[in-house]
Amino acid sequence: MRSSVMLKFIVCVLLLGALPASRLIAQNLTLEGQTGGFLTPTAYVVYMEKGQFFSHPAIGVHFIDASAVIGKIETFSITEGFANRAEAGYTRSVHQFGDQPTTTATPLGLSNLWNYSGMNVFHGKVVALKDGQFGAWVPGIAIGGVIRTNDHFVSGAANKTLTGTDKSYTNGDVYVAVTKTWAKPPVPFLLNLGWKATNATIFGIGGQSTRFGGRFFGGLGIPLPLGHGIVAVPSAGFTQEPKTAVNLNTLLNAALYQCEAAHACNPASYPLMSAHLPTTLDYAVRVTQRDKPHFAFDIGVGQVAGNIGSIWVGNPYFPAVGPPIVTTPVNLQARSIVGMGLSYRY
């Protein structure tokens, strides 16, 4: 689904006027196990009744199909809330290999960059200011963090290709989320904006970023009643990504370095290649209960990464035709992928 079509759809939803709203969109578990949208955390935590310190656990399952290159990803999460002020949890991210083999047309064998079983994700969040605590327009503010371990994707795989040594990485995020639910006319909505410092690309799926840096994220959801206490929530979200990952640019230029070492190329005649990862976008519809939701089902489309740059490869027709090395595009074929998720709070 193109972003322009989705934006028109959201505008049409906004024109529907006053509809009952609650914090329902925030009660689902994200891909990494926090309460939030499909991908991004909000300033809310797992719900529990007043007077309780421990919540009933919330569990979540997500599935993303990017099998053309990256593969399929399933996540299994469990999250516990504390006094409506904090939460912590664990997610196991399970990976199934992509479909692209190493061929003459794809000498990099892009799926090899994700030829691993998955990684571990630990997360925690504390609400510093509750939504509406000091006035109707006061948003909620939460501070949280994510740690991912045993991440071999892209950076580790590239290190193995370049040096022969497999390597796993540990990366993480520290974030602040500001969230406001407006449940009154003329337009009920949930708006979420945040900033995170991270050293991971595409939630660790894209590997280890080259530095720890700041990125923005956010989302908007509009509740539509379906009857019998059930609502549908069309939503859109974004997450800025670091531009490249550790070892990725070196991998893109490996053939150039080899050509130079063999004294077959003058490196000054060839530009260095650099990957450019775009902002991750997600457009989803959530179906859940309006009040004190126990379940939520998401289905949507993600725009992750298509052509991220080019790689130098040896020219099989040299010296008869062309220079000793030529470029070929690096297309991850994940600019339009399908995802779904299911969460349940006991």
Instruction: Render pLDDT for 6-17 as a digit per residue (tens, 0 to 9).
Output: 444 444 433 333
The whole-angstrom separation of Cα 15 and Cα 99 is 43
Q: What's the pLDDT at 107?
A: 52
Secondary structure (DSSP) of 198-215:
EEESGGGTT-EEEEEEEE
Q: What's the pLDDT at 10?
A: 43
Residue 75: pLDDT band (50, 70, 90) is very high
Q: What's the pLDDT at 185?
A: 79
Compute the average pLDDT of residues 294-310: 94
Secondary structure (DSSP) of 137-186:
TPPEEEEEEEEEEEE-TTHHHHHHHHHS----EEEEEEEEEEEEEE-SSS
Q: What's the pLDDT at 212?
A: 94
The whole-angstrom separation of Cα 313 and Cα 82 is 54
Mean pLDDT (the chain) is 89
Name the residue with higher pLDDT: 6 or 117. 117
Say if residue 154's pLDDT is above 90: yes
Burial class (CB in 10 A: 0-12, 13-18, 19+), 5: exposed
Which structure tokens are listed for 305?
């990464």
- Give the whole-number percent of the chain exceeding pLDDT 90: 73
Terminus-to-terminus CA distance in the chain, angstroms?
34
- Torsion (CA) 71, 337, 59, 219 in degrees, nearest 10: 140
Are 72 and 95 in contact, with CB atoms under 8 Å apart? Answer: yes
What letter would DSSP give residue 54?
A: B
Which residues are registered as beta bridge partners of 230? Answer: 227, 289
- Give the whole-number percent of the chain exceeding pLDDT 70: 90
Q: Mark 249-282 as b/e (b = at least 16 C-beta within 10 Å).
A: bebbbbbbeebbeeeebeeeebeebebebbebbb
Q: What's the pLDDT at 50?
A: 82
Compute the average pLDDT of residues 237-246: 97
Q: What's the pLDDT at 99?
A: 79
Compute the average pLDDT of residues 77-87: 96
Q: What is the pLDDT of residues 13-48, one digit of tens each?
A: 333 333 334 444 556 899 999 999 999 999 999 988
CATH 2.40.160.40 describes domain 27-345 = yes
Q: What is the pLDDT of residues 265-300, one digit of tens each?
A: 998 899 999 999 999 999 999 999 887 788 899 999
Which residues are registered as beta bridge partners of 280? Answer: 239
Which sequence spans correspond to the domains of the chain? 27-345
Say if residue 151's pLDDT is above 90: yes
Compute the average pLDDT of residues 231-244: 95
Widest Cα–Cα separation across the chain? 80
Residue 309: pLDDT band (50, 70, 90) is very high
Q: What's the pLDDT at 78?
A: 98
Are 252 and 258 in contact, with CB atoms under 8 Å apart? Answer: no
Amino acid letter, 185: P
Q: What's the pLDDT at 11?
A: 42
Q: What's the pLDDT at 32?
A: 97
Pure H helices in 173-306:
248-252, 254-261
Are 31 and 40 in contact, with CB atoms under 8 Å apart? Answer: no
The whole-angstrom separation of Cα 245 and Cα 56 is 38
Provide the whole-model pTM: 0.88
Helix (H) or strand (E) holding 58: strand 58-66
